[in-house]
Structure 1
Amino acid sequence: MQIGDITRFLETLAPPLLQESYDNAGLLTGSAAWECTGVLVSLDATEEVILEAKQKGCNLVVAHHPIIFGGLKKITGKNYVERAVIASIKHDIALYAIHTNLDNVITGVNAQMAERLGLVNCKILQPKSGLLKKLFCFVPVSHAEFVRAAIFGAGGGHIGNYSECSFNAAGKGTFKAADGSNPFVGEIGKRHEEEELKIEVIFPAWLEQPVLSAMIKAHPYEEVAYDVVGLDNQLQTTGSGLIGELPKALIPNDFLQLLKDQFNLSVIKHTTPPAKPIHKVALCGGAGSFLTKAALAAGADAYVTGDVKYHEFFDAENRLLLADIGHWESEQFTIDLLADHLQDKFPTFAVLKTAVKTNPVEYFK
């Protein structure tokens, strides 16, 4: 099995198109064409993790955080980034990062946090727009169902909890085949009229090529007439943060204890809890203070994230419990998420979890 087989699978879970503009997800070192000897999953691809991969016979490290964010002008080993890159190249260890693209899918990092807290009725806190496209395809009536099925099979036509969604309008298409053509219907040199359906289907932008390929392959015409347009609609399954509900409302102290127990915390930084039970909970793995106002607007009683600065705690406006549980602590179960997906997909292949705790923050108790 090649490294590319594994990375292509990971990109079906979290398409690269979903990463933020500042991010650097994807294959950072190594080659997709290498034969893979094993995968080590980690939150960070530090030098220590890379050496662990070598010792365990793994030549691919899949990490949540990219070790390389900006350009490297020199690689002399003067800092932890350069030392990690040197180690990966020296030992032929490929590094793959699956970062904000995994943050931005509803089944990603935040879903792991929600699962630990037992949240139900979860949805994206701040959905992204501009990720949907619409296909207009003109098909002879006799082949409409065949083409529709091909488009659906490639991932088109999903709206929320519904699949195979389309709109179909009847009309009449005209065309005149030129010399050298091979028309499905009609005669060369004569205008032809054909009863057709205009099929309208939406799809996420990262599926454009598979959807178009499936449509063209299934379509009977030599030249397929179709349009693809971008939409500003929000895609409800992608975006920042998550919000859900506790099965049973908790008093603030009990909710904080739940956080402490489920995330193995020694300390929680938080605002003064409002005088109401905690029922609706928003969360965001990593540094998520940018979503505090979105959590308020969504009616959250508590918002759980990491890396909150002093002045950002005021953004809670005494209306919700803002809890900073730490960056690493909020994302620690991402290792389990990735390892479980990889093991399910490649059950006979070596998928290991790092034994290195890469959290750079310690707490004096």
Structure 2
Amino acid sequence: MKIGSIVPASDASALEALLPRSIWEGMDPIDPTPMKHFIWHEACFATMYRNRKAVLLTTNGGIAAFVRKGALPTLFLAGAEELAEPAEAAYADAEAAERLADAILDHRLPVKLGQPPAGTVFADIFAAKAQRRGLLVTAPTEGSPYIELDESWKDALARFNSRRRADFRRMRRRAEEDGEVAFEFHEPGPDEAEVLLERAIEVEAKSWKSRTRTAIADNKVQLDFFRRYARLAAQEGIFRIAFMKIGPEIAAAQICAECDGSFWLFKIGYDERFARCSPGQLLMLESIQQAAGRGLKRYEFLGKAAGWTAFWASSERPRMKFNYYPWNLLGAAALVKDVAAMGRKKISQFIEGRNKERSQDGNG
């Protein structure tokens, strides 16, 4: 079955008709993640794609939600580019992945999958089929780190050497100099989730992310998405919010989900007023211990690897950018457009870099 229709995002019954929950509930996908849940896609279509053409592809044992957009019609995996998470189609086995890849390619449209996990069953099958039917452009990107949890992580501090343990004790002492330290781990219902999410967003906006405009508060697409997702995930009982408090103030916050046997960290932020005690690191230590204590299998750092994640996680899921262009006029036009856009971006970055150098030299 292939479904493609325009559905107003404000029409809940129409959205349910487009994305029937029963299809997801009947799935037992390989490598389950929050990005393969019904509520993830419901939040995507309700907030990002108002009056866009949503395309739901379902086959026996497989499902993938796309949005069709652009002057040159292109299929974009729902939410993959806007949220930058390692999203992928959902499929029960290799045969289902084969059928799903064929269903996608049969549309004979350019396809953009974002930056999904590399080396998965679907990624390998899609790549092999796409290369026979058009041009597949791939490029490795930063991976997504994770920790394989075991009993030892229940006392995470003990896993570090003496110097690192001393660092953490020093951070804690500095925090206690400013007030009583407390850690809160919330499993909120829908109404409480909205309040707690806003508090977490406020904390994140008080960090360096506000200067680089990478905070949720600076990105309306992500802001709207997480507000909707928080409520839906809380209804499902999987939404989590964690705080580190110093006195009455929230010094650090995490926005998370707990499902599929793992703890999924979407966002972390801290108030720079408390930077000297590294509240984000202290909260991370407690958060990992909590996850291990609950018997979870993994602690997943969503998004991309960064310097601070390497401190915690030695394992990483590789990711790959996937853009497909079919052997037809539309595919050729889309390829030319994307190549031109990449060229303009590189030129812009070069000019920006030169201007910065001149400014630093006092000549600009």
- Larger CA Rg, structure 1 vs 2: 1
TM-score over 0.5 (shorter chain): no
> With structure 1 as the length reference, what TM-score do the two structures score?
0.24
